[in-house]
Structure 1
Amino acid sequence: MRIGYARVSTQDQHLDLQEDALAKAGCEKVFQDFMSGARADRPGLIDALSHLREGDVLVVWKLDRLGRSVKGLVDLVEELANRKVHFQSITDQIDTSTVAGRFFFNVMASMAQMERELIGERTKAGLEVARKLGRVGGRKRKMSDGKIESAKKLLATGMPPKDVSKNLGISVPTLYRWLPASRRV
């Protein structure tokens, strides 16, 4: 039996391309996840693995859909081999039922890991340059210095925190985060 596994990182992404390719590859069942490949607790993958029997083939559209680290991929394919289950990646043209396929899998897994690490390094370098240029990442602050001063004055007049937060267009927890009871004077 050929069992497919499809994954995207977020709910707003679509699995159509992967599911079509898995159907064309002859998968009788396809399991799916909508979460990061870095997570070990992917219910769709766990379910797919539990359905695999000796002689079956786990099929993915692309190698990175299965996992994020070389070690994780190699360990998973090794676990499948121990269970006498084969692995196939359609796009990467990997089929572990052959010697060449097993070799190619190890090479591709190493290259995928290197690519992820290079992306991480470039991202870190870009963030460092941005910080040096005075840019700060993340969401804009809800509480400006003016809002903090206004909140202090309104609280000093005895206005309830709920009304202060409504007046400033912020949530009560945001108000408390910026003006804990110990700092309000």
Structure 2
Amino acid sequence: MIFSINISIAGGLPDDMEESSKLINEYFPNYDLLEYQDLDFFGKDCFEEYRSKYNPGIVNRDFNGDSLNDFAFLLKDVKSNSDDVIFAIFLKQSKDNYKLTINHDLKGYKGIVFILPVEPGKVLKETEAVDTRKPRRKIKLKNAAIELWYCGKTTVVFYWNLELNRFDSI
């Protein structure tokens, strides 16, 4: 089975589309990148201000500070055409070698979910959750991160936690 990823937006995209296509085919053979046309009316409205710079289904940055560009994807099931999406993060280990570190099923969110890069240096503040007695966290990003948007609901930022040596979210 051959997949092609056709993306015409310049910013926020991987330098090597062949590399991202290879990863998707290897790990998720029945999936392809979530794109702007996959968003519903509300999702398109939420994403519109970012449309000229980014694709809603891919972020390519160095997430863990090793000077190698990693990938984050939102993937749609091309066989079933369901509203389910997979959120996946791959860390580059070496040339042509990646490790899948995050793999979440987002059931029913295809029309309203997208990802954006968050650049190093940004300060993230945790919002107050209902019935939470824990203090709210405040984090200054050392590396790029991924912001997962659920339009009209919430956003979650996945960042590399240097102390834990793994992804964390806020």
Task: Tell me which interval the TM-score lies in, with the shorter structure as reference length.
Answer: under 0.3
Tell me the TM-score normalised to structure 1 length. 0.22
Greater length-normalized contact order (CA 8 Å, ≥ 6 residues apart): 2
Larger radius of gyration: 1
